[in-house]
Structure 1
Amino acid sequence: MIWIKETVREVTEKYKTTDPFELADHLNVIIVEWSLDEEINGFYHYERRNKYIFLNNSLNETFKRYTLAHELGHSILHPKFNAAKMKEHTLYSQEKIEIEADTFAVELLITDLFLKENQNRISTIKDAALENGVPLELAHLKKV
């Protein structure tokens, strides 16, 4: 999914940040921290040309940052598709779209520059994932 890596590069170069909170601000994505069911970390919602990301307010800061990066992936890669709408469109696989959002988050949080600057200190992509708040089971999505 090189196109996702390229999209992340374009967005981060344009706004000069890899911080998901700063990117959301630049992209006019409204972040709402809400008391969600414990099984829901967050979700993206598009309505009337407005983009919203709801984050579970019980998440720790590290996982909140990852969840926001994932949901930003939806807002950039799939801007007009809400999860409920995706179920209605058989051409769109929810699993594929979730993998794309995860890939976006991983590329955003583990940048090539970070890997290059820390190559002597970090020996595996899992080490980089740990340091950057990326769930270990998703570290393999990083394209080097």
Structure 2
Amino acid sequence: MDELINNLIKKYKTNCPFELASALGIHIRFMNLGTGTKGLYYRKLRRRFIVIHNELPVEWQRFVCAHELGHDRLHKGINRFFLEESSYFSPGKLERQANVFAVKLLSIGSNPEQEESCKSYYLRIGIPPEVQFLLEE
């Protein structure tokens, strides 16, 4: 997974999930997905889509985009929903892999500043508090 992420960043010169998705030809849409779904990834007629719940805070939009990009890169051909009730507290294998992909993608290339707490560092780089534990594993 690390090599895959490094190759993406090297090729496209960014770790921004929105820029990477665009460069990879993935269409991003924002819409109301209700209270339990933060985002989803699907393919239709050879076109790939990431749909993000339009009422999420910016840091969650970035994380969800990175998470769904993880599904595109790691789980080709599988449509997955990023469900609030199952995605980061008791994730299945595919959800866990997509979460780890997202955290690694968003945190690569940055380091904590001197005497900066881990929590402050994660918040500064846009990792939602609810998934920060993935960085500690």
- Common fold, TM-score beyond 0.5? yes
Q: What's the counterpart of residue 109 of structure 1?
A: 106
Higher share in strand: 2
Counterpart residue identity of residue 114, structure 2? N
TM-score normalised to structure 2 length = 0.83
Residue correspondences, number: 128
Correspondence 1:49 to 2:42: no
Q: Identify the residue that residue 129 of structure 1 maps to in structure 2.
A: 122
Task: Give the number of the structure whose residues are more often helix, by fraction.
Answer: 1
Aligned partner of 1:42: which letter? G
TM-score between the two structures when normalised by the length of structure 1:
0.79
Counterpart-to-counterpart distance in 2, 1:29 and 1:7: 17
| Misfit runs of 4+, over 2 Å | 121-124, 135-144
Q: Which has the larger radius of gyration?
A: 1
Q: Residue in 1 aligned with 2:11? A: 14
Q: Distance in 2 between matches of 1:128 and 1:81?
A: 33
Tell me, what secondary structure is at the counterpart of 2:64?
Answer: helix
Partner secondary structure for residue 38 of structure 1: coil
Provide closer, same or farther for how the CA distance between residues 25 and 77 of structure 1 changes in structure 2, counting only shifts above 3 A.
same
**Does the 8 Å contact 1:46/1:79 carry over to 2?**
no
Deviation of the 1:40 alpha carbon: 0.9
How far does residue 106 in structure 1 lie from its aligned partner after superposition?
0.2
Task: Give secondary structure in 1 for the equivalent of 2:59.
Answer: helix
Is the Cα contact below 8 Å between 2:113 and 2:121 reproduced in 1?
no
